[in-house]
A and B are shown apart, each in its own frame.
Chain A
Amino acid sequence: MARRIGVFVCHCGINIAGTVDVERVARELEKQPGVVFATTYQYMCSDPGQNLIKQKIEEENLDAVVVAACSPAMHEETFRGVCREYFNEYRCEMANIREQCSWVHDGEEATEKAIKIVKATVEKLRDNEDLMPILVPVEKKCLIIGGGIAGIQAALDIADAGYKVILVEKEPSIGGRMAQLSETFPTLDCSQCILTPKMVAVARHPNIKLLTYSEVLEISGFVGNFHVKILKKPRYVDEDACTVCGDCEEVCPVIVANEFEMERKPRKAIYIPFPQAVPSTYTLDREACLGLAPLTCSQCKEVCEANAIDYDMQPKIIEEDVGAIIVATGYDLYDKNKLVEYGYGEDDDIITSLEFERMLSASGPTGGKIIKPSTGKEPKKVVFIQCAGSRDKQHMPYCSSICCMYTAKHALLYKHHVPDGEAYIFYIDIRATGKGYEEFIERVMEEERINYIRGKVAKIYRDGDKIVVCGVDTLTGRKVEVQADLVVLAMAIVGKEEAVKIAKKLKVAVDDGNFFKESHPKLKPVEALTRGIYFAGCAQAPKDIPSAVAQASAAASKVLSIFSKDKLEKDPLIAVVDEEHCSACGICVSVCPYGAMMKMENGKARCIEALCEGCGTCAAACPSSNIEMRNYKDEQIVKMVEVVI
């Protein structure tokens, strides 16, 4: 219990002192019982400010300190660090008289309120206990959800550093969206060619356990000690035995659309999504298969020389303990059918950007030929529409970030394929902010003679063989009408639908675009609000490949910093049960969201330190007030209430 409290009131230049009479605050606080010293200083967080606190702790023999300054979110760490040299850090508290006082109020009342806030902080501090952080062991293994380029990069970084990685991918192969792309802007290198080596490296890495065709079912625990349940769906083909000879595919009588090809190319019920798939194995799609039984059709099983096909394969639940989690679930395109007001719905010759990517790919549905899907002929006029669903209040208000660049790439590649063709791009603005991006756009505009039309498309409709695209060129004010053979929509990027479910399991938030919410938009763009969970790639926001890779490496480095320690420090501000007086009603056990309240044999409750997160729900629910939150005791809060009124 603190008996010699010092109060240090910060001017924060004029940020506080311009509104609050800081001298008066100090003088008033000096009168408070237990406060033996109070002073003010220009910038308490500066070196001289910190030294002043140290000096006074020594001179005045202080045993606790209140710093009245900015929000504890800003400088609690700073001042606790200063005090740690002399006494337990919980003998230091901050009173927020800037964000929640001087910046939002004026005149006399600001000073009055500041005094109340500081007094309340003194009251709380008086009854703070000395606490040491709780040390919890770290499971040095990382779960990565999503095997696109971001997940792959993070997995390789962590595995190369010598730690185990569990990489979970929902699809039969890793590779994600990048595997679907033809060439990448602005250098036009082939996407597959730069991605495949990384995919293979993942498959080969001794530290990476790759679980494809798998989904995360449950996640519990906390940083350093998560427990996850993963469902490995049966692919009915033994991954290790399959030699990818393709005999099974040949005999399979069932034809369905291949998702990897944006459903523009068929596949069999037994299939490999694309030739470079990792793991290199066939997968039997149960939904499409005639019956998984020798009676109905077992042609694939019969021809498989490697004996790799097993109709009796069962779903497997795999349980793992991991210390950290990286979420890299990637993106989907916004549903073009939702853009009905433009007439974008079902029309064979209006396709999405990803469908066009597949068309450009040598292994794609058309073998790399650009065609007008309804006729199979070469389109002589192509209209590209940017911001389809993006920057649109009716749909997705944000910029999808990569569409300007890949549309330019699309138009360029189209011109290379069809030199006598005409390409039109409707755009709102051109956003080319990456390295070499502006130059790329210039090149496309000037060398390739693409018609850039600044303006939104007002309407699209079919007229016989053509698709008519109408809009206004806002630079000239003229109406534009293009009779197109093919229309390519640069669809808005949205987070995966599954992201919402995964977010629930992780107890983190997603925004309206299904993107995971980072802890701080500027200073913590990789971290979730919950410690030990990180984001990479388009799961967090639309981004290009270099940014996704960079964020993945950033997430990996965060994970590595957790793994660099054998024990993690956990906040000791947890619940404590007065076991002697506990009435064994069990309410706390039922309200605790973490399962941290354990019912003992005698029916009484005990708090499991490692699991408790310190929310205080149990303390508020305990009917006999026998649970206390360390340093947020009922008594402390009640006293604070008293002085603020």
Chain B
Amino acid sequence: MSFEPKIVAFLCNWCAYAGADLAGTSRLQYPANIVPIRVMCSGRVDPEFILEAFRKGADGVFIGGCHPGDCHYVSGNYKARKRVEMMKKLLKEMGINPRRLRLEWVSATEGQKFADVVSQFVEEIKELGPSPWREKK
């Protein structure tokens, strides 16, 4: 059987989640490997959530936020960006390919972009194969 990655997506309420809704309204198909969790802002994504996801056996973690300058809470997405950079380094040290963590800006009007980046991310994770932490679980 082919490898079907498990991916958690943290989507900010105001942009990325709304963008994902628009992808739905526009009936744009994308792989079902990605399961959304709505958070108020990408800045809410605690590094602990990311680690926890990998610990529980996720093959990838996706974070969707508003474009720079557009965060509903002014600057949460900048904080998210910093944290993601930091987490990528940490993950690398822990033996997880940093490409398994992806941050994308998706506005409420970018349904197509949401479908595109998510499909792409799923493809990428498929290439990377199962997370090395899966067995540990």
Interface set of A (CB-CB < 8 Å, partner B): 71-73, 96, 98-101, 103-106, 109-110, 112-113, 116-117, 120, 507, 509, 529-530, 573, 591, 593-594, 613-617, 619-621, 625, 629, 632, 634, 637-638, 640-642, 644-645
Contact = CB atoms under 8 A, between A and B. Distances in A.
8 closest A-B pairs by CB? A99-B24, A616-B44, A615-B73, A617-B43, A593-B74, A109-B32, A644-B35, A103-B24
B67 to A, nearest CB: 9
In this complex, the interface size class of chain B, counting residues with CB under 8 Å from chain A, is 35 or more
B43 A71 contact: no
B106 to A, nearest CB: 13
A99 B25 contact: yes
A530 B48 CA distance: 29
Nearest to B43: A617
Contacts of A507: 74
A518 B6 CA distance: 36
B26 to A, nearest CB: 9
A644 B30 CA distance: 17
Given A110-B32, A629-B44, A100 B20 contact: yes
A609 to B, nearest CB: 16
A100 B59 CA distance: 20
Given A619-B44, A634-B46, A645 B57 contact: yes
B29 A117 contact: no
B41 to A, nearest CB: 4
Interface of B: 6, 8, 14, 18, 20-25, 27-32, 35-41, 43-49, 52-53, 56-58, 69-70, 72-76, 79, 83, 115
A289 to B, nearest CB: 38
B73 A106 contact: no
Given A117-B35, A120-B37, A615 B44 contact: yes
B21 A73 contact: yes
Contacts of B14: 529
B76 A103 contact: no
B52 A638 contact: yes
Contacts, number: 131
Contacts of B52: 638, 641-642
A160 B131 CA distance: 65
Nearest to B4: A109
Contacts of A509: 69-70
A100 B21 contact: yes
A632 B40 contact: yes
A617 B44 contact: yes
B79 A591 contact: yes
A9 to B, nearest CB: 17
A616 B57 contact: no
A377 B18 CA distance: 59
Contacts of B20: 99-100
Contact of A616 (B36, B41, B75): B41
Greatest chain A CB density within 10 A among B28, B30, B52, B83 is at B52
Given A640-B37, A641-B56, A104 B115 contact: yes
B40 A614 contact: yes
A621 B36 CA distance: 22
B79 A641 contact: no
B32 A120 contact: no
B6 A629 contact: no
